[in-house]
Structure 1
Amino acid sequence: MTPNQQNTTVFETRFGRILALKEEGIIRARSIRYAHSERFQKPIAIEASLSSIIISPEKTPVCPQALSPLVEKMIGATPVESFEADESTQYLSITRPEKVSENEKLPVIVWIHGGSHEIGCGDLATADPSEWVKEQHVIVVTVSYRLGLFGFLGGDETRPANLGLLDMIEALKWIKNHIADFGGNENNITLLGQSSGGDAIAHLMISEGVEDLFQHVIIQSAPLGLRHQRQKMSAEFLKKTETLKDETDVLKMMDEYGKFLPSIMKYGLKAAMPFGTQYGYFPLCKEEESVEMWKKNAQKYDVLIGLNNDETAFYLKTSEALNKYFGTGLGLKIMDKTVEKTTEFIYGIPARRFAENLAEAGGNVYLFRIHSKLKDNHIGASHCIDLPLIFGNESAWKSSELLKNIPWSRIRENGKKLRGLWTEFARTGKISDTSERPEILELRKM
């Protein structure tokens, strides 16, 4: 790809000359490296390079990871041939409308992907923001960061904790410093995260070193019920994986660490997410100080937080083993109750308490819940159902088991209204009572 091609453009920025691709009404600058790191070291910001054109790599860099059979089944197969494993996976991509007025400053939405702090990357087709960007005239920045062993397990001098969180902070600094060169408003930045991405954003709100880096947050399906008392589990998992820290074959590391997971199942539900943000290590406070820190920072950020009504159906109702015994009759009633209880424990009650605490401290907070409302959709509004609503991109979702009995026309209709509300919040930090709401959404100001 060269700058002379008609489908490309070059952004002249203070970071350097960045080559971007024009695609059907949007411009995308893909896989810009914002920082670099050695294994288990803090990220170092990349210095500006004004002498040459910055061109995206041929393959999308992704943190080494093991594929999830559940994600492959429910969301779709990962095109592994288009990705390149990279331990130092500090990259971001910028998608903006092709036509932006000269003095226009667009709101900026920063996507922090989910995946249990273990899988995923910023540039997956199922979270391609092109449709959102064209429809709502915003800029979306998607961020990749270190995961799993490399980013979310630590606790000693040789393997620090929270490196993935520090990567995100470096990305936000880069965005703050350079997004204006792409037509973005550096003083109107919204963080959007789903699942572990939402968990990360909640913790960025109480991290050191984030002053003035963002103004609004949208937290979708964050498993905040799993954040408590993880210290012993993390310490044990860290010790068991000590033999892997110097392994040169990253794919072997991915194969080997899974062998230690059964030994931490004694820690209960939290072991379903063995990697995570760790209290008491930079940039986070101690766990017992966290609620007061959120209250202290409540008035700094506008907050939109919520969940899907049947989150854990994604895991429970799609299990062939469980369906063998709980798929019909009384068993199905037990299954439905289990989905309800676990959804509330992991997602629902923690989201409500989070919202209540911030509101009591004077924060501007909205709480939402997404429902299915379809009788023939047996898993209901499960984990990840918000992704096609927010991002659209029918072609990426057409083979998804998650949407098996849901007409795409329904996703399109509700998704456009949901994107409108989320964009209104990103522009102003508020959602008007008169704004049109999708029928699947329950939303209230706290």
Structure 2
Amino acid sequence: MISDSRDIDAPCGRVRASVDGTVIRARGIRYARARRFARPIDEPPVDVIDGREPGPGSPQYRRDPNAGMTFDQLGGLSTSEDCLRVSVTAPTDTVEHDSALPVLVWIHGGAYVAGAGDAEIYDPHTLVEEQDVIVVSVTYRLGVLGFLGTGKPEHSNLGLLDQISALRWVQRNIAAFGGDPSNVTIAGQSAGADACAHLMIAEATDDLFHRVILASAPLGLAGGTEPMNWAMAKVAEKIDPAASVDDILAAQDEVHRAALVGGLHAGMCFGVHYGAYPLPAKSDTDAAWSQAARRYDVLMTRTEREIAFFAGFVPAFRRLHDRHLTSPMLESLISGITSAVYTRAAKAFYDRHRMSGGQGTRLLIVSRGDGSFFDAAHSGDLPLLFPGDVWHDSFLDYGGTAQIAGPELRTIWGRFATSGALPRVPVPGLIDILG
């Protein structure tokens, strides 16, 4: 229950935060500003910041057009192009700690077209309370606004640059909230994990973070996208830079339709572009990740039936499935596409990381075996990491299992963010150790 407020004197300004039970929330803090299709400019200090309300999400539809989702990732959150905000959630007794707390920077997923740092489904209250860490949630530009613009090279990767600006904000300010700027872990799920992987090789990120958690990173969708990118850019050329937000989103739909030439790659057609600042050319990425390996410990996780999340919205797939009898045809399809998008590329990433001298572990979140269509599907780990009432009406609800599995998974994340401890022992019925 939010009961009162607390002022925090930080380099960014005096932040008025809310006390919410065992945590303090300082929300919607602007870390940068950006004109449309322009790089972010770090926000200078101001006198007072009201951090008692959540920040807006980037303009988006209330569903993910790439996956045909009907699950609303935003809830009641507003949207705005002025969305470059961070929110800090910290234990209320941070000032009583003898040493600064570890910091986990959360970069949300949503195929680079949906979601927001302050969305209720990413509420870090329990994670902060249990693990004694500080969580910084980042909101960044999405879709055409964040990763394509009108197809010009200088319009690429703006959302990634937003994230780098947010990480600079963390370095300047997190000590005022009780955090340790020398102990920062970046963590993301799905597109957020893809972003974290690329932050490892982006320019201007030295010393901004120290560990990386990649949850369900769709690394199999990287590379081989040149024809799709060309088709998208040709459509994007027609976008009026001064168009209304509604017209921008309508144009984004047209761009997505053009991306369908990319097959599976169209599932995350908006995203990072190699060879455009701050990323190296595609041909140089293997060497860049190899060089980065010794700098970052990496914890990689995925779910056993990732693609079930998306297959659930395809009627033909649903007809193959009987909730009481597993369909071999459907399970074979789910396994095959999961391998193509998630498994093989993640293993290659991990093997390269370890062979280059990096430390890491791969975890598999296993099926409960209860016959549920969305059992161990993509995003199935989110209700365990960020539990709350919002999940109870969701197809991802774990029910009573979450009371057992959730603390185990949060402990693994908390220990890794605190000390770099990598899990070596599986959790029966929840996690297998893959490497």
TM, length-normalised to structure 1: 0.91
Give deviations 1:239-261, integer Å, cap 9, x for gaps: 20222242431022212321343
Q: Which amino acid aligns with 2:10?
A: T
Distance 2:324 2:116 in 1: 40
Question: Counterpart of 1:437?
Answer: 427
Question: Does residue 279 of the first structure (1) align with residue 274 of the second (2)?
Answer: yes
Deviates most, 328-337 or 316-325: 328-337
Question: Counterpart of 2:9?
Answer: 12
Give deviations 1:26-79, integer Å, cap 9, x for gaps: 000001000000011110001112xx3211485631111112268896645743
5+ residue gaps, structure 1: none
Give deviations 1:141-186, integer Å, cap 9, x for gaps: 0000011001111586585210000000000011011101100010
Deviation of residue 15 (structure 1)? 1.6
Distance 1:38 1:92 in 2: 18
Deviation of residue 232 (structure 1)? 2.8
Distance 1:236 1:287 in 2: 19
Counterpart mapping for 1:12-411 below 5 A: 12-49=9-46, 52-56=47-51, 60-68=55-63, 75-76=71-72, 78-80=74-76, 82-83=77-78, 85-100=79-94, 101=96, 103-153=98-148, 159-324=154-319, 332-393=327-388, 395-403=389-397, 406-407=398-399, 409-411=400-402
**Contact kept? 2:18, 2:25, Cα under 8 Å:** yes
Deviation of residue 430 (structure 1)? 1.9
Corresponding residue SS for 1:243: coil
TM, length-normalised to structure 2: 0.93
Distance 1:205 1:97 in 2: 28
Aligned residues: 432
**Contact kept? 2:151, 2:234, Cα under 8 Å:** no
Distance 1:301 1:329 in 2: 44
Q: Which amino acid aligns with 1:35?
A: A
Q: Which amino acid aligns with 1:41?
A: A
Q: Which amino acid aligns with 1:398?
A: H
Report the RMSD for the aligned CA atoms in angstroms: 2.3
Distance 1:17 1:97, change over 3 A: same
Deviation of residue 321 (structure 1)? 3.9
Distance 1:141 1:221 in 2: 20
Corresponding residue SS for 1:368: strand
Distance 1:374 1:183 in 2: 42
Q: Which amino acid aligns with 2:49?
A: I
**Contact kept? 2:320, 2:330, Cα under 8 Å:** no
**Contact kept? 1:39, 1:88, Cα under 8 Å:** no
Distance 2:313 2:13 in 1: 47
Q: Which amino acid aligns with 2:4?
A: N
Q: Which amino acid aligns with 1:379?
A: F
Deviates most, 88-97 or 241-250: 241-250
Q: Which amino acid aligns with 1:79?
A: G
Corresponding residue SS for 1:66: coil
Q: Which amino acid aligns with 2:232?
A: F
Distance 1:321 1:165, change over 3 A: same
Give deviations 1:301-350, integer Å, cap 9, x for gaps: 00001210100001113433432356589993221101000001100111
